[in-house]
Chains A and B, each alone.
Chain A
Amino acid sequence: MNAGIRSGSGFAPRTTLPVVEAIATRGGLLILAVALFVFLTLPLATLLMRSVEDRAGQFVGLINFVDYLGSAAFTRSAGNTLAFATLTTAITVPFAFVFAYAIQRSCIPFKGLWRGIALLPILAPSLLAAISFIYLFGNQGWLKFVLGALGVETIYGMAGMVLAMSFSSFPHAVMILLAGLALADGRLYEAADSMATSNRRKFLTITLPGARYGLISAAMVVFTMAVSEFGVPKVIGGNTSVLAIDIYKQVIGQQNFQVGAVVGIVLLLPVLAAFVVDSAVRKRNQSLLTARSVPYSPRPDRGRDLVLLIYVVGVSIALLLVIGMAVFGSFVKVWPYNLSFTLHHYTYGFEEAGVDNAWLNSVVMALWCALAGAALTFAGAYWLEKTRGADWLRPPIQLQAMTPTAVPGLVLGIGYILFFNHPANPLGFLYGTMTILVLSTIVHFYSSSHLTAVTALKQLDSEFESVSASLKVPFYKTFWRVTVPVCLPAIADIGRYYFVNAMTTISAVVFLYSPRTMLASISIVQLDEAGAVGAAAAMATLIVVTSAGVSVIFFAVEWWLARRTQAWRRHSI
């Protein structure tokens, strides 16, 4: 009888299957490796090469570096960049820490609301904050007297840059710190209580060490954002030169690609340093929680909760004020003299500057990034995590997948120009098209999306593929039937992340757009340069509304997907 089952004709092993699977496995990995190589590594390699050539393309060694690093312009820009990034980090991280602490470790009401408000700046381009601070503290600003009282001469310069950058980077720091403060071992606090420990000592010996990695990580992210920020110094920096502006001037203004490449590489160094520090710290960050730990949950404490609530409300109002200011400014005729309502900035304002196609271009590009980005990123992560064979391809893919974190958008953008604009490049036809904007944006934001996908995939039992192999089901069927449905919320999340970032990003695409593919975020810089601050505010408002609206749609879809495909997550208790 047993023999009968074993030799049942319908269950005979299909010998063709492994061959097809092997091709699919290796093929998928190879495509991923080649794509990353062409659209990430080659542009960066071109950048490196051009930095050691002269204008005619002759190898000149490190002369470009020596010239640039020895110049007074460099000393000034490097100093400003360092001061800008350090001040922004020193302001943002403590503010974000107290905010996240209030949400995770106290009993204040409406935590969801405060968290939502804190994350709002993500939906806005960093330029929005710069415009708002000009409205508030600029030459015609409402609150200009505050600057005078503080002894700051003008908002145009370091003060404005740091303020606007702190606003833009705040949600990123808050997100990291919320995660860093989310889990704590409640038993540690109880052990401390049993030894009559003061609140101060508990904070210093348990809370702060527990959040140490989150703090370092948040500081590195904020520092990196500020170092590579282009829009904020451009709009509110006045005469303060920073490295990011220097690159732009060299490449776009003077077509001096060699020096642009040199500045790009110089810019890469602090970001790379931050990246190395962060990964070193992450590696040491073994889980402080064991299976036997009991999660900490805060108990009400009226005094502490009241103080933290006042703080959280204060910060939330400040954040809303900054966004609200730009929105308000976009609807008034002439700030601050004629405050009557108008839609003028949204219509003639755009037309006049020739950027009336920018918003639609941005939406189209963001949609492509969301769809193609989510599909490609997830498929790539799947091939990397869940297939077997062709192991020599995996380390280079992993390395390349994490590289974009350490590459400022500006550097990536110059790399793209140098590579795709090269006369000998058969891919040169991409230059100036929407496709290259989409590709560069996907690559720019690849690392974080890749990690989201890998995390979601790692939660699946690693034996699904083995089980389906033993059942003689090809892996792609399991992919469609199990893996994709289970991971749909994560895939939607990746799509939303790409969309919002595509709407707000400037740094890489500023080198790659053409008049036909002008983007909303870049048009803000142009409008501001042309003195049309109202129209610039209008464009920033449009971006916020669009990313907010699409985020809401994505959340609705995620909720719907969760109901449709995640029924298995609900426990039957």
Chain B
Amino acid sequence: MATAALLLEGIHKAFGGFVALDSIDLEIHAGELVCFLGPSGCGKTTLLRIIAGLETQTRGRVLQNGRDVSRAPPAARDYGIVFQSYALFPNLSVRSNVAYGLVNRRKGRAQIDARVKELLSLVGLPDSGEKFPGQCSGGQQQRVALARALATAPSLLLLDEPLSALDAKERDRLRGEVRQLQRRLRVTTIMVTHDQEEALSMSDRVVVMNRGRIEQIGAPLQVYEQPATPFVADFLGKVNVLNAVSLGGGRYRVGTIELATSANGAAAGESVRLYLRPEDRVLADSGPVESMPNACRGRVQHVDFLGTYCLAQLEVDAFQGQSLLIYFSLNQSHELGVRDGASITFALRGERVRVFAPGE
């Protein structure tokens, strides 16, 4: 097996009595884009800074391409970094900013000029070399910071919430651009973000973190559809949580009705929680739902209009007081007459239900 581009072994970080990171083990492969995703204070930025050598771990090892860099200063490691604030040198032109790391390496002038030109066109700013950072828009500054980080052709690119300072439109555009650039250059990339949409749309693998620990590592689809813990289910997207009792064989009783699922881990008689996303339902526009397994009937309490989708809260009598959030596309909501007080029949997708113990 090839050596990992980056290997973290038992990384532990304490600030005084506060444990910021608790035995983190992680292997990152060459050329992939990995997102550290989690709420603020989960330790994702601290982990990135330890990889960069800007913070020193209390315990544990960092290996880059098989080389132990655990105690190496930032300068002795091989990476480029883009900060949330971009940290562009305000007094230097865009060109000098991008050339900054190259000058440190004592490259020839012509060589530097050529490389800067190449990078600026790579990030789509071929004509902005003479500008100062203050004269650039947020998105342009972000691109300059990216060019600067990539200038020395590092084997690892670190991005610390690189898009969070941008407005929504610009953020969407740059998501695609960054991902494309990363694929083209095949540079191993770690991105820290608290934005789940960003993590899911950009990465090869997502590392979901909470309270200094890794909750789950997996492909975006995997962590979304098969969350390993209630935290992951809850943090990524919306989820319904239903109190239920296991009947064995993947069957659960919620209120007065039974649901058939493909999650058959719980022993009969055990109290559990069922996690189900608002889109994991079948509606009447795709067939006679009344006769499907797990069919339910609910009354619409209220509807949140979210653009192409509506999110409706339904009171299901059979659930005895537990309400359910269900997505409807705009068309479905028109066809099925989803409005306050309307009665809607639907079937839950048993194969999507995740089951966790109540205390988890």
- Spell out A's residues near B (CB within 8 Å): 185, 187-188, 190-198, 201, 205-206, 209-210, 212, 286, 288, 290, 292-294
B185 at the interface (CB under 8 A from A): no
Known: A190-B74, A205-B92, A292-B165. A195 touches B100 (CB 8 A): yes
Q: Are A191 and B92 in contact (CB under 8 A)?
A: no
In this complex, what residue of A is CB-closest to B49? Answer: A190
Pick from B85, B100, B165: contact of A192, CB below 8 A: B100
> Residues of B contacting A292 with CB < 8 Å?
84-85, 165
Known: A190-B54, A190-B74, A286-B134. A197 touches B100 (CB 8 A): yes
B342 at the interface (CB under 8 A from A): no
Q: How far is the CA of A362 from the CA of B171 in the complex (A)?
A: 65
Q: Apart from A187-B85, A188-B87, what 16 extra A-B contacts exist at CB < 8 Å?
A: A188-B89, A190-B74, A190-B81, A191-B83, A191-B87, A191-B148, A193-B53, A193-B74, A194-B75, A194-B80, A195-B104, A196-B74, A196-B105, A205-B89, A209-B89, A290-B85
B152 at the interface (CB under 8 A from A): yes
> Residues of A contacting B103 with CB < 8 Å?
201
B350 at the interface (CB under 8 A from A): no
Q: Are A294 and B85 in contact (CB under 8 A)?
A: yes
Could you name 23 residue pairs across A and B whose Cβ atoms are closer than 8 Å? A187-B83, A187-B87, A190-B52, A191-B81, A193-B73, A194-B77, A194-B79, A195-B80, A195-B100, A196-B101, A196-B104, A197-B75, A197-B104, A205-B89, A205-B91, A205-B100, A206-B89, A209-B89, A209-B90, A212-B91, A292-B84, A292-B165, A293-B87
> Residues of B contacting A201 with CB < 8 Å?
103-104
The 9 closest A-B pairs by CB, nearest first: A195-B101, A196-B75, A187-B87, A292-B85, A209-B91, A193-B74, A191-B87, A187-B83, A194-B81
> Residues of B contacting A205 with CB < 8 Å?
89, 91-92, 100
> Residues of A contacting B73 with CB < 8 Å?
193
Q: Are A190 and B85 in contact (CB under 8 A)?
A: no
Q: How far is the CA of A187 from the CA of B145 in the complex (A)?
A: 12
In this complex, what residue of B is CB-closest to A288? Answer: B90
Question: Which B residues from 85 to 109 make CB contacts under 8 A with A?
Answer: 85, 87, 89-92, 100-101, 103-105
> Residues of A contacting B90 with CB < 8 Å?
209, 288
Pick from A187, A198, A210: contact of B104, CB below 8 A: A198
Known: A187-B83, A209-B91, A294-B85. A194 touches B104 (CB 8 A): no
Q: How far is the CA of A196 from the CA of B89 in the complex (A)?
A: 15
Q: How far is the CA of A293 from the CA of B83 in the complex (A)?
A: 10
> Residues of A contacting B104 with CB < 8 Å?
195-198, 201
> Residues of B contacting A192 with CB < 8 Å?
100
Instruction: Return A193 CB to nearest CB of chain B, in Å.
Output: 4
Q: How far is the CA of A523 from the CA of B134 in the complex (A)?
A: 54
Q: How far is the CA of A191 from the CA of B158 in the complex (A)?
A: 11
Q: How far is the CA of A286 from the CA of B89 in the complex (A)?
A: 14
Q: How far is the CA of A128 from the CA of B71 in the complex (A)?
A: 54
In this complex, what residue of A is CB-closest to B154? Answer: A194
Q: How far is the CA of A395 from the CA of B90 in the complex (A)?
A: 33
Pick from A195, A209, A210, A286: contact of B152, CB below 8 A: A195
Instruction: Return B135 CB to nearest CB of chain A, in Å.
Output: 12
Q: Are B100 and A193 in contact (CB under 8 A)?
A: no
Q: How far is the CA of A209 from the CA of B134 in the complex (A)?
A: 15
> Residues of B contacting A195 with CB < 8 Å?
75, 80, 100-101, 104, 148, 152
Size bin of chain B's contact surface: 20 to 34
Instruction: Return B107 CB to nearest CB of chain A, in Å.
Output: 12
In this complex, what residue of A is CB-closest to B80? Answer: A194
> Residues of B contacting A209 with CB < 8 Å?
89-91
Q: How far is the CA of A370 from the CA of B134 in the complex (A)?
A: 43
In this complex, what residue of B is CB-closest to A212? Answer: B91
Question: Which B residues from 291 to 335 make CB contacts under 8 A with A?
Answer: none
Q: How far is the CA of A212 from the CA of B85 in the complex (A)?
A: 22
Q: How far is the CA of A197 from the CA of B74 in the complex (A)?
A: 10
> Residues of B contacting A194 with CB < 8 Å?
52, 54, 74-75, 77, 79-81
Question: Which B residues from 58 to 89 make CB contacts under 8 A with A?
Answer: 73-77, 79-81, 83-85, 87, 89
In this complex, what residue of B is CB-closest to A210? Answer: B91
Instruction: Return A181 CB to nearest CB of chain B, in Å.
Output: 15
Q: Are A293 and B85 in contact (CB under 8 A)?
A: yes
Q: How far is the CA of A194 from the CA of B159 in the complex (A)?
A: 13
> Residues of B contacting A293 with CB < 8 Å?
85, 87
In this complex, what residue of A is CB-closest to B85? Answer: A292
Instruction: Return B183 CB to nearest CB of chain A, in Å.
Output: 23
Q: How far is the CA of A195 from the CA of B77 in the complex (A)?
A: 9
Q: How far is the CA of A557 from the CA of B280 in the complex (A)?
A: 68
Q: How far is the CA of A197 from the CA of B89 in the complex (A)?
A: 13
Question: Which B residues from 136 to 187 make CB contacts under 8 A with A?
Answer: 148, 152, 165
Pick from B54, B85, B92: contact of A193, CB below 8 A: B54
> Residues of B contacting A290 with CB < 8 Å?
85
Instruction: Return A44 CB to nearest CB of chain B, in Å.
Output: 38
Q: How far is the CA of A187 from the CA of B161 in the complex (A)?
A: 13
Q: How far is the CA of A209 from the CA of B80 in the complex (A)?
A: 24
Q: How far is the CA of A294 from the CA of B55 in the complex (A)?
A: 14
Q: Are B85 and A185 in contact (CB under 8 A)?
A: yes
Q: How far is the CA of A205 from the CA of B93 in the complex (A)?
A: 12
The listed residue with most B CB atoms (<10 A of its CB), out of A187, A191, A210, is A191
> Residues of A contacting B91 with CB < 8 Å?
205, 209-210, 212
> Residues of A contacting B84 with CB < 8 Å?
292
Instruction: Return A186 CB to nearest CB of chain B, in Å.
Output: 9
> Residues of B contacting A294 with CB < 8 Å?
85
> Residues of A contacting B87 with CB < 8 Å?
185, 187-188, 190-191, 293
Q: How far is the CA of A293 from the CA of B92 in the complex (A)?
A: 17
In this complex, what residue of A is CB-closest to B55? Answer: A190
> Residues of A contacting B100 with CB < 8 Å?
192, 195, 197, 205
Pick from A190, A196, A286: contact of B83, CB below 8 A: A190
In this complex, what residue of B is CB-closest to A208? Answer: B91
In this complex, what residue of B is CB-closest to A197? Answer: B104
Q: How far is the CA of A286 from the CA of B135 in the complex (A)?
A: 12
Q: How far is the CA of A185 from the CA of B101 in the complex (A)?
A: 18
Q: How far is the CA of A293 from the CA of B133 in the complex (A)?
A: 15
Q: How far is the CA of A286 from the CA of B87 in the complex (A)?
A: 16
In this complex, what residue of B is CB-closest to A198? Answer: B104
Q: How far is the CA of A190 from the CA of B134 in the complex (A)?
A: 20
> Residues of B contacting A190 with CB < 8 Å?
52, 54, 74, 81, 83, 87
In this complex, what residue of B is CB-closest to A205? Answer: B89
Q: How far is the CA of A198 from the CA of B73 in the complex (A)?
A: 13
Instruction: Return A212 CB to nearest CB of chain B, in Å.
Output: 8
Q: How far is the CA of A429 from the CA of B90 in the complex (A)?
A: 57
> Residues of A contacting B92 with CB < 8 Å?
205
Instruction: Return B153 CB to nearest CB of chain A, in Å.
Output: 12
Q: How far is the CA of A280 from the CA of B76 in the complex (A)?
A: 42
> Residues of B contacting A206 with CB < 8 Å?
89
Instruction: Return B322 CB to nearest CB of chain A, in Å.
Output: 37
> Residues of A contacting B76 with CB < 8 Å?
196
Pick from A185, A187, A188, A193: contact of B75, CB below 8 A: A193
Instruction: Return B69 CB to nearest CB of chain A, in Å.
Output: 13
Q: How far is the CA of A465 from the CA of B198 in the complex (A)?
A: 44
Instruction: Return B339 CB to nearest CB of chain A, in Å.
Output: 31
The listed residue with most A CB atoms (<10 A of its CB), out of B53, B100, B134, is B100
In this complex, what residue of B is CB-closest to A190? Answer: B54
> Residues of A contacting B74 with CB < 8 Å?
190, 193-194, 196
> Residues of A contacting B148 with CB < 8 Å?
191, 195
Q: How far is the CA of A206 from the CA of B91 in the complex (A)?
A: 8
Q: How far is the CA of A187 from the CA of B87 in the complex (A)?
A: 6
Instruction: Return B218 CB to nearest CB of chain A, in Å.
Output: 29
Question: Which B residues from 3 to 36 make CB contacts under 8 A with A?
Answer: none
Q: How far is the CA of A192 from the CA of B52 in the complex (A)?
A: 12
> Residues of A contacting B81 with CB < 8 Å?
190-191, 194
Instruction: Return B194 CB to nearest CB of chain A, in Å.
Output: 14
In this complex, what residue of A is CB-closest to B100? Answer: A195
> Residues of A contacting B54 with CB < 8 Å?
190, 193-194
Instruction: Return B78 CB to nearest CB of chain A, in Å.
Output: 10
Q: How far is the CA of A160 from the CA of B105 in the complex (A)?
A: 49
